């Protein structure tokens, strides 16, 4: 994985017990992992593996695939064999797919005991099969699938109701001696979600999978996830995260990785510092910032590039960055580590920055600064 930092600069991590999702540790002080879920038909093995490769390249540590049908269950061995990251099978309703996923070599299975038929009867054998295979499980509720009794008792999917549901499930597993599971208690509202995880975090040492469920399209969903994960992670709560967006899953991974990077919980990659521009700007800062970001977003070196519209704050910020441009008179002054190394016309700013950025990145790699 790409994550290497396990301690937050903001707050000590909550002490959770550790489980393994294949080779990826979750909880017990392990670096916080980023998850996503494919949106291809799982039975379409080629398309699913293609998407998993994209997610992996974007920094995803663990991937989940939905298993709603027999064909999907049958595809699991081929997906597991070729996936570069551990695969979690996501199973609702049909317990027989759980056993098939375990046989297929999945690193973990997500089950929702609330909607698995006759869970009381089948639960212990699921735990036994997971124990025999040495894999972990994820349990927990989404607000939308809270059991009817608890819904009625608490008057809706309140934090107390969601936590009661999760703890009931956890007890069912622990009563048969199974402890290798993590819990999620997802809600679409960031405030309810934060309150729910806070409450759950006090009740036991389970590793926690954070998610704001059904968070919406990329823009709204990103904001909700940043707020909710930010609040919890800044308190040390959370062991693995999944940003859920009505957008291509690779966007979820990018947002998840950036949340961890900006919270100091994952090694930083490329970052841009750019001004909002104002009436003083002498170049199109917004276009420049976007072009530079697009040109460098794949870079793994922790390089900081400043794009500044004028010479008021420009040179100062550009000096703090590895590389920067401050503009004036339709020209760009290119800085490296605070020194102006050349001045280029506006239409050559992007190319010049990219050229220098790539050279700096190569040097960082040669110096062993890239994780
Ligand atoms: Fe305005 Fe210059 Fe500041 Fe950019 S750097 S916001 S152009 S004053």
User: Residues lining ligand 1, judged by CB closer than 6 Å?
Assistant: 275-278, 280-281, 308-310, 312-314
Residue nearest to atom 6 of ligand 1 (CA): 277
Q: Is 257 annotated as a binding residue?
A: no
Q: Has 317 been labeled as part of a binding site? A: yes
Q: How many angstroms separate the alpha carbon of residue 307 from the centre of ligand 1?
A: 10
Phi and psi at 58, nearest 5°, equal -85, -5
**310 carries a ligand binding annotation:** yes
Report pLDDT digits (tens) over 130-161: 999 999 999 988 888 788 888 899 998 899 99
Closest ligand 1 atom, CA of 310? Answer: 2
Distance from residue 144's CA to the centre of ligand 1 (Å): 47
pLDDT digits (tens, 9 = 90+) for 207-255: 999 999 888 899 999 999 999 999 999 999 999 999 999 999 999 999 9
The residue ranges of the chain whose pLDDT is under 50 are 1-2
> In this predicted structure, what is the pLDDT of residue 104?
98
Structure tokens of 102? 């375990």
Give the whole-angstrom CA distance, residue 28 versus residue 34. 16
ipTM comes to 0.99
Contact 157, 163 (CB under 8 A): no
**Rg for the chain, CA atoms, rounded:** 23
According to DSSP, the β-strands at 271-274 and 304-308 are: parallel
């Amino acid at each position: 994985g790409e994550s290497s930092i396990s301690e937050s600069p903001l707050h000590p991590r909550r002490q959770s017990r550790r489980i393994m999702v294949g080779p990826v540790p979750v909880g017990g002080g392990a670096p916080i992992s980023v998850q996503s879920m494919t949106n291809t038909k799982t039975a379409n093995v080629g398309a699913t593996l293609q998407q998993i490769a994209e997610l992996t390249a974007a920094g995803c540590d663990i991937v989940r695939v939905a298993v709603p049908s027999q064909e999907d269950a049958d595809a699991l061995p081929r997906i597991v064999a070729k996936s570069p990251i551990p695969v979690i099978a996501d199973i609702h309703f049909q317990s027989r797919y759980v056993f098939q996923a375990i046989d297929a070599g999945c690193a973990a299975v997500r089950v929702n005991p609330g909607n698995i038929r006759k869970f009381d009867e089948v639960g212990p054998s699921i735990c036994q099969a997971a124990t025999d295979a040495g894999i972990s499980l994820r349990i927990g509720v989404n607000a939308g699938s809270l059991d009817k009794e608890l819904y009625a008792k608490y008057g809706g999917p309140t934090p107390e109701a969601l936590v009661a549901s999760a703890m009931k499930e956890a007890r069912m597993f622990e009563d048969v001696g199974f402890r290798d599971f993590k819990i999620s208690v997802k809600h679409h509202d960031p405030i309810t979600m934060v309150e729910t995880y806070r409450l759950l975090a006090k009740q036991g040492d389970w590793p926690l999978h954070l998610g704001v469920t059904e968070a919406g399209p990329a823009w709204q969903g990103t904001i909700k996830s940043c707020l909710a994960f930010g609040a919890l992670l800044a308190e040390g709560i959370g062991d693995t995260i999944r940003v859920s967006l009505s957008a291509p899953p690779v966007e979820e991974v990018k947002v998840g990785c950036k949340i961890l990077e900006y919270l100091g919980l994952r090694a930083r990659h490329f970052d841009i510092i750019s001004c909002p521009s104002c009436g003083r700007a002498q170049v199109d800062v917004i276009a420049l910032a976007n072009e530079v970001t697009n040109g460098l977003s794949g870079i793994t070196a922790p390089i900081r590039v400043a794009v500044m519209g004028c010479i008021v704050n420009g040179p100062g910020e550009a000096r703090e960055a590895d590389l920067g441009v401050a503009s004036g008179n339709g020209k760009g002054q290119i800085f490296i580590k605070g020194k102006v190394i050349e001045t280029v016309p506006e239409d050559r700013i992007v190319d010049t920055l990219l050229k220098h950025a790539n050279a700096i990145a190569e040097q960082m790699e040669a110096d062993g600064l890239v994780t």
